Amino acid sequence: MTTSVSEQDIARANAIKEEANVFFANKKFDEAVEKYTEAIEVNPNVAAFYANRAFAHTKLEAYGAAILDGDKAVEVDPKYAKGYYRRGVGKYALARYKEAAKDFRIVLKFAPNDRDAKLKLDDCDKTVARMAFEKAIASNEVVKKVSDSIDTQSIIVEDTYDGVRIDDGKVTKEFVDDMIERFVGQKKIHRRYAYEIILQARKYFSEQASLVDVEIPKEHKLTICGDVHGQFYDFNNIFKLNGRPSETHAYLFNGDFVDRGSFSLEIILTLFAYKLLYPTGMYLTRGNHETDDMNKVYGFEDEVKAKFSETMFKMFSETFATLPLAHLVQKKIFVVHGGLSSRDDVTLEEIRNIDRITKGQPGQGGLMSELLWADPQFLPGRSPSARGVGQKFGPDVTENFCKMNDIDMVIRSHEVKHQGYQVEHNGRCVTIFSAPNYCDSVGNKGAYINVTPETEKGYKLDYVQFDAVEHPKTQPYANKFRGGF
């Protein structure tokens, strides 16, 4: 239904849209969304306004909002190809491949030469067929774990390999130091040692609860980091600025180690190796990007296949399923990647006992998914998430969770913050994000939190910000599917 709009308002809406375009071009996507919204309020009859806002939402990873804007664009103009395309990209990003394929087919009906729509449609069709095949196999026989079939001792290490080796299955400081230097120089470790690291890490994590207690001994320190997203050189810079993990200096990386950046493999192998070297010096929380759906779209799967093999990616997938979902620091700080549940009665013990390994992939609903996907909001209560998965939770929800579980606060990650961190919900909820200049485009700072024991409160928090460093210029592994992202 078309709304009556004056010529003056049409001109004013177009002018506002141009302001939004400038914000978008300068990568100020929040401001762009606000301006596109203003243009829509003045003139709701232009499908392109909704499609443009959908694109800005996509840049903010608000895929649910992008889908809704795609809906509105095609409602205004059923023949507007870009509306279907933006909606399809939102669904594609959320691994809703069948639905996305329908939209890309409509795009090609109106724009037969749209190469990106063809690529995405082809990928959707292949993925749907592969998933159907895997489901059929799984229903007829017990699918064996790849990790049960790898014999690292049978993998020959060639004499030409010039790196430090793992002897007797034991990861040493010498090996980790050498591995990091190889990674800095864009060299790989031998696949035998990569497999050994992954297998040992999987065994270690599979024996842990879904909620892990972390105690900081006197004169020790714990550093909590947020998303690092494949930005290995920024990740390594944290250690240069703050010191490497040791027996007295532990790190907790709070999910989203992989995807987006081009050096996810280097980060995850470093984290796993440090876990094996210092079991109480490295803690890892699963993020929403340590999942098959995200790894397919955002690059980690393609990166591992390019650098090693599909078998190794499957090994990582099985290992990600063993990662803990949360940590409890000093009995008072709940650390989780996303946030809080849609229920008010969730206890720490319920989280501790989640059978994450059997479930494997978190899906797009339920407690496990919510812990990985939720975001805080300013208003009280809960509301649907613009991401299309999970929900938003207000300060009252955080307050209730803390009081019921006798804790002080929630530290979470999952969202880029311009200053690298943000304190909200009356100090009860902190977001920490450790990928500066996210995706080489956002211009944000990174941050981490140093936690030290204190007699009176039990802990002290110190926030440290840092800037991005130079890194080799490489093409993101997800680039071939990112035309609309």
Active site residues: 289
Q: Is the Cα dihedral 18, 24, 25, 26 positive or negative?
A: positive
Query: Measured between alpha carbons, how far is 265 from 244 in angstroms, rounded to an integer?
Result: 19
Strand partners, 333: 329, 409
**What phi and psi values does residue 58 have, to the nearest 5 degrees?**
-60, -40
Q: Is the Cα dihedral 472, 477, 480, 481 positive or negative?
A: negative
Q: Where are the beta strands (DSSP E) in 291-428?
A: 326-329, 333-336, 375-376, 382-384, 391-393, 409-412, 421-424
Q: Smallest Cα–Cα separation from 55: which of 77, 36, 80?
A: 36
Tokens of 454: 């204190």
Q: Which amino acid is at 2?
A: T
The residue behind tokens 């790196």 is: 163
Q: Which amino acid is at 161?
A: Y
Q: Residue 72: helix, strand or coil by DSSP?
A: helix
Torsion of CA 200, 201, 203, 208, to 10 degrees: 150
Q: Are strands 409-412 and 333-336 parallel, antiparallel or unpaired?
A: parallel
Q: Which amino acid is at 82?
A: K
Query: Measured between alpha carbons, how far is 432 from 169 in angstroms, rounded to an integer?
Result: 35
Query: Measured between alpha carbons, how far is 388 from 82 in angstroms, rounded to an integer?
Result: 20
- Long-range contacts formed by 10-15: CB under 8 A, 24+ apart: 10/43, 12/42, 12/43, 13/39, 13/40, 13/42, 13/43, 13/46, 13/49, 14/39, 14/43
Within 299-449, where are the H helices? Answer: 300-307, 310-320, 348-352, 356-359, 367-373, 395-404
Q: Smallest Cα–Cα separation from 33: which of 15, 11, 51, 12?
A: 51
What is the Cα 309 distance to its own chain's centre? 22
Q: Smallest Cα–Cα separation from 337: which of 323, 322, 316?
A: 323
Answer for the pair 20, 57: CB distance below 8 angstroms, yes or no. no
Other CB atoms within a 10 A radius of the CB of residue 184 amount to 15
Answer for the pair 333, 409: CB distance below 8 angstroms, yes or no. yes
Q: How far is CA 422 from CA 7, 303, 427, 428, 475, in A?
A: 43, 31, 10, 11, 31
